[in-house]
Structure 1
Amino acid sequence: MQQYTKKEKGVSVRQALSLPALSGVNVLGGESGLDRMIRSIDIMEEPNIFPFVQEGQFLMTTAYGIKDDYQTQRRLIPKLVEKNLAGLMIKLSKGYVIKEIQTMIDEANRLDFPLLEMPENFTHTTVIDAIYSFFSLEEGKNYKTVEDAHQKLMQAVLNGGGINEICRTLYQIIQNPVAIVGSDDAILGSYPKSSWTSRDVSTLLKNKDDHMIVGGRSFQVKHVPIIIKDYHYGTICVLEVGHKLNALDIAIIESSAAVASINIMNQMLVREMEIRHKNEFLFQWMQERIHSSTVLLERARILGLKLESYKNMLVLEIDQFEKVKTMDTDGIYTAAHLKSVIRFTIEKTLKNHHLKSIIGDKGETMIILIEQHPSLENDLESLKQLAQLICDQLAKQTKYTCTIGIGRPREKLTELPSTYDEAKKSINMSRSFNNQQKVIHFDDLGLFRLFIHSSQVETQQFISELISPLIEYDSKNNTELMKTLEAYFQCNGNMSRIAKFLYTHYNTISYRIERIQQITQMNLEDEENRLYLHLALKLSNSDIYKKFVAAHL
């Protein structure tokens, strides 16, 4: 709750109610106390505000939190009278009836304390503007109104001013330093700049502090969120150096948040357009639609990209992306927002390692081109560690996970599509085997790289010829031939170890191995037969085979 006390004489509650702008305000109780003087206005966000209120304050509230708490209602009015406040105005929420606050009305009548009801079509700003305008007329002061301030802020934007100009204009109005911070805690604009540093603001928001040290003194900070389509895109921070913010100041700051959101939306639209063109270019390149290096570099130059030094590539895919798109009615926007968070996290992680990047995204896939750097030269392990760090950071920032694939390096830019293709196949193969590893290099696939380039039909047929008969036999005879075969390879064919591993008699294991060889027509003593059977068993755990089985059920 913000505090502000006017030294001027003020206005009585009765005079305030006579203002045309406040026509329709209903006196619920305490009519005999309407001559109490209003010296300041504030908004009561919670009932436990007694340590902060000051004499002569006029409070506004929804009191929604105490509508069923009659004990708190009974205590509230006497406490406000004890603090010598001017009055209390309640805006009844939908479904909230007068009888639910009858205890407060009774106390207001008993103690001659004005208890007022705000009309449904009123806002807190309506009351604030009306009363402060009255102060202006009565005392010859040039008090600002929310409407005047809003017009001034809008004019600054219409004149071509950006976030910095909004900060400067707001500073002129409320006479306190202003900073507008993005959802990534980076300062988008500030005025005066000497009052703010990125480190101070980042620490402030991270710790959810309401005070900041400037020049060795601690000052209170007011945070007002900037919300666009239910998403938090930034915060307006105001440092109470000049004076304590009053309710009118806060209403003006909240109004400026709406103006700032327009500016941020415009910036977002421009940025989205730039990103769209870059995405289209990057994915056309990776899909081998640009064959000439001259054309490639020229198109990149038009988009402001200098590709010559970008030889390292990571390919990131968002896990379970379909769930992201269907998590609510605004799934597309949710996915876009998630990708913007991922993009920022990647950029920040790479920047911390002094690495520049170019990022493109399409659907679940993100291409991350990384500029050549001594720390990455011919060092695959460093690239994998960097990819793992990105995965770890994303897991902390969002509830979603990702998998990153890495292909073999290429010298020519026109050959990078092959690196991209390998990275994509690494991810697909890793997912096919339900691998929990989140960073996978093409070379890590080992022998399974052979199956990447073969057709799925051939792979499925290869698995089916050797493994399906064993599965069918187990199903019909309630046996464990598949389990025994897996143990055979885990124990390197040692019969005693297999028996011990499966808690099964040696003779039973010998019989099962014999049946496996009969059914598959593979001799496990033959090195080539053994290799085929082992490969088929490994591949049987992949999505390739599971899809085949599902299609033939």
Structure 2
Amino acid sequence: MKTINDLFILDGMKECVVLAGHRGLTRNVESVNISDTPDVINFLYKNHLLLTTGYGFYEDTNQFCDLIREMHALNCSGIIIKVNRFMHKIPEEAKLLADDLAFPIIDLPTNRTLGDLSRHILNYLNDHEAEQLYYALHVQQEFSDMMVKGYNLNSLVEHLGHFLVRPVLLLNHRGEMIARSHDFRMDSIKRAETEIVRAIKEDTAPYQDGTTFDIPSLNQQAVTTFPVKTKRQQPSMLVIIDFQTLPYPSSQMAVEQAGNVISSTLIKEQAIEENTRLLKNNFFADLIEKRVQAEDEVMSRTAFYGLDPDKASICVLCTVDSEGENYESLQLYEKKISELHNSIYDQLEDDIINGNMQATLFTKEKFFVMILQFNQYTEAEINLVTEFTQKAQKNVQGEYSVSFGISNPVESVTEIPTAYQEAAEAITNGYDQNMTGFINYYKTKEIKELLNTLPRKDIKALYENTLKSLAYPETKEDQELIKTIEIYLNCQCEISVTARKLYIHRNTVKYRIKKAEELLNCSFHDPADSLRVRVALTIGNILEDETKTLSSVQ
């Protein structure tokens, strides 16, 4: 049965003011009677609520007090009166009497009609579905007002627990705690919380859709989850213990209305997070492009974003491969690109947390940037990074393929720009080889690779100026001289070792080296001369390979 207190969820009652008899708001209400006649008591029964303008007794305080006593004796519900219509104010004697008897007297604003109010109350009393709807709208209004006033998520969840008289949890899409009602501070419920979170974290998917399940510590009390939509691809979850035995008129509709307001609050907080993310990414761009020069500033700002200056850092870049029909169609829709970008960011964030990695996630242009940190970087850490990246690629990759580039370790956060360039180059190298959906480690370029990037006329000039007449050996003697120089330098200028490799006498090696130094006007024991000749010999191999390739094509 409904009480007077329950009626205040109705639109017609929200502007009403209780003038006296507040303790009697728990009185039951079964029906409504509208009357302005002095003998109205003859038409009232137990649990009846009287709606009146007060015309029948506005000039007679004693008659009004007698009506209050008689209605109290009949166990009537109370009086709703349009005070400003005729009475203008309730006599003090009547107020004191109503307070003493705990008999509610409620003022109805003059802009409301008794007929409309009567209809709303009777519909509410007689229609269970309407009652549930009114209750749900009341819950929505309460929670909307709280959101507008800036209440945080914990307050909203606490209030929902109060409404439902049930323990309530709010978990994010990973099953991590966001907020809880006060019930979970009790020892008897703490264990249930641990079991609920553990069960949901094992496989979040079925719980995100909404389901009911049991846990060991709760006897005959099931646990029910409700999805809470946010900007993320996967919803957060409201978790309610013993939802299935909610007292009437609480219903799933009421929970959904509260969930909608909690969803809006979560979305608002996510917007704040996105703004924070933007500031973080702007700093990272400044760091990579070396607009932050002072080392102290780099140290303090990287520490602010969770990077430890005393640990080795690895840069892992992720990007969507810009090939295929799916990518081409994606380019036509900025909204879809934004959704994909946010989805990948969220998934990588999840992978970092689920992989228990010490890492910070940034974005820069088309790249998602993960800075992973380790106390040391051994073979075990290399395997860990590989395993983490493979799992992340599997989780992120769907309709569109993604590729990863991984840098070498750097010892200081001030060297992160170097790590970023290495990881970006690892991705570029993969694309240069026409690969997609790859994971590439950065390799330090060998001298031969570096020389191949230079203009041919420049390396050819260096080659000829260094080796002079030996640049293009035509006689057998010149060819043997070039071979001797190469092996001699490879053997760290050790004459005996060179002689053994060439199967000649050591004096012959001495003679050839002396002759070569005279021809080239250098000393192989001079580091600068030695390096210059080594580079020239490497260029000779490059030019020889190109000549052979050209000949085979012709």
**Alignment-derived partner of residue 344 in structure 1:** 349
Partner of 2:125: 134
Alpha carbons 2:230, 2:236 under 8 Å: kept: no
Instruction: Map residues 11-22 of structure 1 onto 2, 5 A cutoff.
Output: none
Corresponding letter in the other structure for 2:284: L
Change (3 A) 1:458 1:363: farther
Structure 1 position 147 matched with structure 2 position 147: no
Q: Distance in 2 between matches of 1:342 and 1:360?
A: 13
Residues 263, 172 of structure 1: alpha-carbon distance in 2 compared, 3 angstrom cutoff: same
Code of the aligned partner of 2:213: H
Distance 2:147 2:11 in 1: 32
Match of 2:418 in 1: 418
Structure 1: runs of 5+ lacking an equivalent: 1-7, 10-18, 22-128, 460-525, 541-553
Of residues 321, 335, 339 in structure 2, which corresponds to 1:334?
A: 339
Q: Is the 8 A contact 1:174 1:249 kept in 2?
A: no
Corresponding position of 2:409: 409
Q: Does residue 157 of the first structure (1) align with residue 147 of the second (2)? A: yes
Q: 1:527 to 1:130 in 2, by over 3 A?
A: farther
1:431 has 2:431 as partner: yes
Secondary structure at 1:315's aligned position in 2?
strand
Q: Deviations over 1:350-378 (max 9, x none)?
A: 31xxx311110123202211222357589
Partner of 1:532: 546
Q: CA deviation at 1:283?
A: 2.1
CA deviation digits over 1:291-322, x for unaligned, max 9? Answer: 32122123335656554435222222233395
Distance 1:458 1:211, change over 3 A: farther
Q: How far has the Cα of 1:246 moved from its partner?
A: 6.4
Contact 1:324-1:331 within 8 A present in 2 as well: no
1:190 aligns with 2:180: yes
Distance in 1 between residues matched to 2:277 and 2:452, nearest whole Å: 32
Write the deviation string for residues 189-211 of structure 1: whole angstroms up to 9, x where unpaired. Answer: 22233342421333474344521
Kept after mapping to 2: 8 A contact 1:225/1:232: no
Matched residue SS, 2:137: helix
- The Cα offsets for residues 519-551 of structure 1, whole Å up to 9 and x where unpaired, read as xxxxxxx975663379999xx9xxxxxxxxxxx
Quote the offset at 1:449 in angstroms. Answer: 4.8
What amino acid is the match of 2:299?
A: L
Deviation of the 1:213 alpha carbon: 1.7
Q: Separation in 1 of the partners of 2:126 and 2:224?
A: 25
Shift of the 270–449 alpha-carbon distance from structure 1 to 2, 3 Å rule, reads farther
How many Å separate the matches in 2 of 1:134 and 1:183?
40
332-341 vs 298-307, which deviates more? 298-307
Deviations 1:33-77 (A, max 9, x none): xxxxxxxxxxxxxxxxxxxxxxxxxxxxxxxxxxxxxxxxxxxxx
Question: How many Å separate the matches in 1 of 2:412 and 2:550?
Answer: 37
Indicate if the aligned counterparts of 1:318 and 1:403 stay in contact, CA closer than 8 A.
Answer: yes
3-state secondary structure, aligned to 2:265: helix
Unaligned runs of 5+ in 2: 3-9, 13-119, 460-539
Whether the 8 Å CA contact 1:313–1:407 is kept in 2: the answer is yes
- Structure 2 residue 174 is the aligned partner of structure 1 residue 169: no
Q: 1:399 deviation in Å?
A: 4.0
Question: TM-score with structure 2 length normalisation?
Answer: 0.52
Rg: which structure is higher? 2
- 2:497 aligns to what? none
Aligned to 2:284: 282
Q: Could you tell me how far 1:259 is from its partner in structure 2?
A: 0.8
Structure 2 partner of 1:181? 171
Equivalent positions of 1:54-453 (< 5 A) are: 133-135=124-126, 145-191=135-181, 192-193=183-184, 194=189, 195-196=192-193, 197-203=196-202, 205-208=204-207, 209-217=211-219, 219-228=221-230, 231-240=233-242, 243-244=245-246, 248-300=250-302, 306-309=308-311, 311-320=313-322, 325-326=330-331, 328=333, 330-351=335-356, 355-374=357-376, 379-395=381-397, 398-435=398-435, 438-443=438-443, 449-450=449-450
- Call closer, same or farther: CA 1:287–1:452 in 2, change over 3 Å: farther
Q: Which amino acid aligns with 1:532?
A: E
> Deviations along 1:268-291, whole A, 9 cap, x unmatched?
122112111111111221222223
Distance 2:158 2:549 in 1: 68
CA shift in 2, pair 1:130/1:167, >3 Å: farther
TM-score (norm 1): 0.52
Instruction: Please give the root-mean-square deviation of Cα atoms over the aligned residues, in Å.
Output: 4.4
Q: Distance in 2 between the 1:261 and 1:458 partners?
A: 64
Q: 2:155 is aligned with what amino acid?
A: E
Please report how far the alpha carbon of residue 162 of structure 1 lies from its aligned counterpart in structure 2 after TM superposition.
2.1
Call closer, same or farther: CA 1:247–1:182 in 2, change over 3 Å: farther
CA separation in 2, counterparts of 1:437 and 1:326?
A: 19
CA distance 1:436–1:232, change in 2 (3 Å): closer
Take 2:267 and 2:548, find their aligned partners in 1: how far apart are those partners? 57
**8 Å Cα contact 1:293-1:413 kept in structure 2:** no
Amino acid at match of 2:387: Q
SS at match of 1:435: coil
8 Å contact kept, 2:406–2:426: yes
Return the letter of the residue paired with 1:383: V
Distance across 1 between alignment mates of 2:279 and 2:165:
42
